[in-house]
Each structure stands twice: as C-alpha cells, then as structure tokens.
Amino acid sequence: MNILVTGGAGFIGSHLVNGYIKAGHNVIVIDNLSSGDLRFLNPTAKFYELDILDPKIPEILKQEKVNAINHHAAQISVSESVANPLLDANSNIIGTLQLIKNAVSSNVEKFIFASTGGAMYGEQIHFPANEEHPCQPLSPYGISKLCAENYLKFFNEQYGISTTVLRYSNVFGPHQNPHGEAGVVAIFCQKLAQNKKPVICGDGEQTRDFISVRDIVQANLIALDPTCTGTFNVGTGTETSVNTLTKSLCNISGKNISVAYDSPRSGEQRRSVIDYKKLNDRFGWKPEISLEQGLIETYDFFQKQKA
C-alpha cells in the first residue's frame, strides 16, 4: 500500500513511518519541519518538505498513487492554542479540511486522523471516558480537533471515503520535542538529563493517561484495515498523577533532584483517562508497554541525545 504520512518527521509520525515501512508499505512523507526533525525520518520514505495547505498536494497524491493518508501534521500544544487560537484553527481545521478534500478528489481510499482523547472530553463525567462521553473540550486545541472530526464524518457520509479517527491519550516516547510540543514526559526527561529541576504546573495531583508511542503505532497499523472505520480511543485506561510520574522519572534517572512548582496551565482539565474497550473488542488492540518500560526508553533516549 502507498501511504502518505503528514507530519512524518515529527514525534509520532516518525514512529509510524518506521512501523509502516517495517510492515512492507511504501511511505511518502509531507512535513514542513516546523517541529519535525529529519534525523528521525526513515531514509526509505520519500520526503516532501511542504505544508499541508500547499497547492502541490493534489499533484503529489496522484503522482505517488496514494491509497491511504495518515494525518499527523498539526499544531499540538494546548497552551499554544490558548495563546494563538487562530494559528491552531488554521493548522488543525483548515489544514485537515483541505487535505480531506484533496484525498476525495484524488480517490484516496482511506483517511486516518490523529485526534485527542486527552483534550476532547474536558472535565470528565465518568472515568475512564469512552467514545460516547460528551465532547466538551476546554481549549482551542480540543475544539479544533472536534471540528476536524465532524468534517471527516461529513466527507465519509457524503463521498464514501473510509475514515478512522484515533483519539489518543497523552503519548510519550523517544523523538518527542521537549520544547515545542505538549509533552510533560519529554520536558522532564530533558531536564533530568541536564541535571535541572522538573517544574510541575499546578499541584501535581492532576492526572493523565500516559501511553507509549510504540502502542500508538500498533493502533495505526490496525487502522489500515478497511473494516476499521469510526472513532476509537487509544489509551491505557489508567490514571497517573504528574507527581507520581515525576517521582518515577527521578528514580529512573538515579538523580537526587528536587522538584519545583509553578502556576497551573490554562485550558487543561484536572483528570483525564480514556477507555480503549471499543478498539480492544473489535480488533484486539491493547496497550503492551508498561509506563515504567516506556519511561525508561524515553529517558535513555534523552540521555543519549545529550551525549
């Protein structure tokens, strides 16, 4: 299969590219390198340095005979979306809308969309949240993802293109950018590798559902299945507080470094954890990488980056 991965030089995208190539697919990558890094891009993939709004996209889809699009190019920072909602909307709504339009006109069979479970459900009513939980995002980032999901549903119903929405919980792992991306694990791993204090926003008792990027790759391989359509949560179903996470990372680093606290971030919910039962019941997917194993892999990556 010829698969286009947008954002394929980014954190999650680079891992997906590796997973798809390992599974025997031909992979084409479009990335504007605003947050991506060519060091992490598999050299087997064909690379175009372009924005997803570039008018050359339809030509590339036809030229490369693209069968499936996996759309991971996005503005992904909750705090950045609060500070600049127009930028967020242009990337996550207009960019996705233009891409799905191009997919339909180029007869692409499958469109996989990276959405958010972490920011989609807002202050949850029940824990963990399944896909039927009310969507009440607290940030422009979550709002833009919900809007894009609705456009995908329209294009699926109107034009018949097969669409799969994967709502991720808090993804972490090697290749994550500790500067521009919303990833507490990456930020803290880099701080500890540099012998600096991790800074917790708020009291640290806020919870998240942390999932290894390796488990995310497996979900995206399943999403290629023609029968895998609709919306699926991809998480662990387990809540972990930021305080507990930080303690684990400090133990893994072996460093006796104290933690600092700062004011909480706006637009972020208190508790977040999602239910993956639907994906498990239909396709047998479940998280395989423990939190500790994933944290060790991530910390080791940042230690090597420092060298």
Q: Are 171 and 121 in contact (CB under 8 A)?
A: no
Give the DSSP letter string of 122-169.
-S-SSSSB-TTS----SSHHHHHHHHHHHHHHHHHHHH--EEEEEEE-
What angle (nearest 5°) sits at the alpha carbon of residue 191, between those of residues 190 and 193?
60
Task: Determine which one of 20, 141, 168, 299 is catalytic.
Answer: 141
DSSP state at residue 93: I
Sign of torsion over alpha carbons 101, 106, 110, 112:
negative
Q: Are 71 and 6 in contact (CB under 8 A)?
A: yes
Alpha helices, H only, 84-124: 85-89, 95-105
Q: Kindly tell me the burial class for residue 201, based on how many C-beta atoms sit within 10 Å of its own C-beta (0-12, 13-18, 19 or more).
A: middle
Phi and psi, residue 204, nearest 5°: 85, -5
- 291 CB-near residues (< 8 Å, 6+ apart): 210, 236, 238, 240, 248
**141 in catalytic set:** yes
SS3 28: strand
- Name the residues annotated as catalytic: 141
